[in-house]
Amino acid sequence: MNISTIAVVGAGQMGSGIAQVAAQAGFKVLLHDVSDSLIARGLENIENGLQRLQRKEKISSEEGASTRARVYPTAEFSDLAAADFVIEAASENEDLKIELFRRLNEICRSEVVLASNTSSISITRLGSRSGRPDKVIGMHFMNPPQVMTLVEIVRGLATGTDAYETVRELSERMGKVTMVAEDSPGFIVNRVLLPMINEAVYCVYEGVGSVEDVDRAMKLGSNQPMGPLALADLIGLDTCLAIMEVMKDVLGDDKYRPCPLLKKYVDAGYLGCKSGRGFYRYKDA
């Protein structure tokens, strides 16, 4: 594997976290989003992350500075042509991702692997629509990527062994532990996690318990580090809804029906931590 430059497409909470992890592992990172202001927000997340590590004395100020210097922000899609490997972490929307993979295929060298951080969307479909199906693969980091050690690797039907080996090796260089999931909606982690979160939302919707009590019940009653509704806020309620919709559409089982209250929150723009308000309030929202 000869990879020195990694492009990260999407500078949201996952993209910025992945960019930080890759830069800390010594890679040059091209961080791309659709506008300078969105990229600036991603850089701010990275800055906060590095400052936190420095305060905890997990990295020195020199390491912080060299990590920062390895991140190259760009709003120019064509700049991504310089990448040796791409991680797509744009919003969870299939049409958007298909278009991104089609455009990445046009500009990236033919040997470059294009990985998606998607939580639920078919890698096989992204691959077949990209024009390089053997080089398209799922590389599913957990939230926050700077902290969580797992990377769920998802092979599409046509994904080649070389692409798989590249992602496994790269994940290890970033200090991650990998496992493999079949290309099925939600893969393993979200197939199990999201129905639980959705059920927690139903509990609030149906008046079974308050937001606080549902979370307290699951934290203390099933030993989870955080309650499912706080976790939904961390993931992003729009992302939770998108994952449930993919599972409902593709698996066709009513048990994946997103709770109407989840839809209502997303309609209201209550997207969780990233928008300042979800099941809980953050900042001054």
Of residues 141-160, those binding ligand NAD (CB under 6 A): 141, 143
SS3 61: helix
Active site residue 62: no
Nearer to ligand NAD, 73 or 236 (CB): 236
Count the neighbouring beta carbons within 10 Å of the beta carbon of residue 114: 26
Residue with tokens 């299939």: 94
The closest residue (CB) to ligand NAD is 12
Q: Is 119 in the site for ligand NAD (CB under 6 A)?
A: yes
Minimum distance from residue 42 beta carbon to ligand NAD (Å): 7
Return d(Cα 108, Cα 81) in angstroms, integer. 5
Please tell me what DSSP assigns to residue 72. Answer: E
Burial of 184 (0-12, 13-18, 19+ CB in 10 A): middle
Q: Are 116 and 123 in contact (CB under 8 A)?
A: yes
Contact segment (CB under 6 A) with ligand NAD among 53-61, 162-170, 222-230, 235-243 equals 235-243
SS3 139: strand
Contacting residue, 262, 274, 277, 278, with ligand NAD by CB under 6 A:
274
DSSP string, 195-227: HHHHHHHHHHHTTSS-HHHHHHHHHHHH--SS-
Contact segment (CB under 6 A) with ligand NAD among 56-64, 90-98, 154-162, 212-220 equals 90-98
Q: Is 89 in the site for ligand NAD (CB under 6 A)?
A: yes
Active site residue 152: yes
**Strands, DSSP E only, in the chain?**
5-9, 28-32, 71-74, 85-88, 113-116, 136-141, 150-155, 177-182
β-sheet bridge partners, residue 196: none
Contact segment (CB under 6 A) with ligand NAD among 208-216, 232-240, 244-252, 275-283 equals 232-240
Q: Is 178 in the site for ligand NAD (CB under 6 A)?
A: no
Contacting residue, 19, 22, 23, 38, with ligand NAD by CB under 6 A:
38
- Candidate list 119, 120, 171, 275, residue with the active-site label: 119
Contacting residue, 19, 23, 33, 67, with ligand NAD by CB under 6 A:
33
Q: Is 84 in the site for ligand NAD (CB under 6 A)?
A: no
Residues designated as active site = 119, 140, 152, 190
Where on the chain is the footprint of ligand NAD (CB under 6 A)?
9-15, 32-34, 38, 89-92, 96, 100, 117-119, 140-141, 143, 235-236, 239, 274
